[in-house]
Amino acid sequence: MEASVLIVSKNRRNELNQTLEVLSRILDLSSHEVLVFLDGCSDDSDLLKDKHNWVKWYSTKKSIGASAARHMLYPKAQGQILIGLDDDAHPLSSNFIDQTKAVFQKYTKVGIIAFQEIKGVYSSDNKVLNKIESNKEEYYCNEFKGCGFAIRKDVYETINGFPLWIDIYGEESCVSIEVIAKGYDIIYTNTIKINHRIDLEDRKMKGHNYFRFGKQLKNSTYYFLVYYPYPLLNVFKLYWHNFKKYALKDIKYFKVFFMIMLEVIFSLPKILKYRKPVKVDLIIKMRQLSQLKF
């Protein structure tokens, strides 16, 4: 099996269906496969199983979180290249797997490729690609985003996988630091474009910004506690920054801020069981690498 496309979805049947419709048109199922994990869905996403019976389906009745779902799903893939997509994201070129293979062949020490994220709504055809084409850009970076990326299967098997101690938002940072700790690189390329069909205004109206703020604050704390040899100063800076920038300016952020503080305190015994600090040299190296620019 050449490549596996892996998707975790929760209660977004229409978005998932659209992504699978695109993939069904551009994949060669003799050498490519698609695996979907339904994470405690209650919106009849199960009905898509009959419509897309070429997909390998997995599910849980109760939601376990995106990171834990990925942890369960990725070892089931047979492809030599594992391509992660959000359920509301699709490639904008029909040969994106060949493009991915070419990047891995060019950079033999690269373990993860971060694809270019393009927000909005586009179809997967050459006319659209021509409209958004840009100069070729590739650079080494310190992490990737989950809406579209590729990781070599043999590299993924050397790490602990997606963490079980994070639910959603932040799991990519954990995979990134473990991959770089194993001596592999992460590279960004805009030669492979992923259309993230995200509706920012709709998410804002539904209060998604507060949800994301809380999850990122909590999981960033866990990240420092697990991987950093001396995490306390970084945790203090994290909370001071978020208190000044968000909690002091918005009562909802203020409430979320202190709820997360309490949740972190009560979760400390569990999180510290996963503690595996990396070397200080690795942290310095990651800080010197570029962050994703989109």
Confidence band of 146 (pLDDT split at 50, 70, 90): confident
Q: What are the tens digits of pLDDT across the range 6-34?
A: 999 999 999 999 999 999 999 999 999 99
Span of 17-26, 85-94, 112-121, 241-250 with lowest mean pLDDT: 112-121
Mean pLDDT of 55-77: 97
Span of 116-125, 176-185, 205-214 with lowest mean pLDDT: 116-125
Q: Of all residues in the chain, what percent carry a pLDDT higher than 90?
A: 89
Write down the domain spans for the chain.
3-198, 201-278
pLDDT at 1: 92
pLDDT at 204: 67
* pLDDT over threshold 50, residue 126: no
Average pLDDT, the chain: 93
Class level of CATH domain 3-198: alpha beta
* pLDDT over threshold 90, residue 201: no
Confidence band of 203 (pLDDT split at 50, 70, 90): low
pLDDT at 271: 97
Q: What are the tens digits of pLDDT across the range 38-59?
A: 999 999 999 999 999 999 999 9
pLDDT at 135: 84
Q: What are the tens digits of pLDDT across the range 235-264?
A: 999 999 999 999 999 999 999 999 999 999
pLDDT at 199: 73
What's the rounded Cα separation, in Å, for the pair 27 and 55? Answer: 12
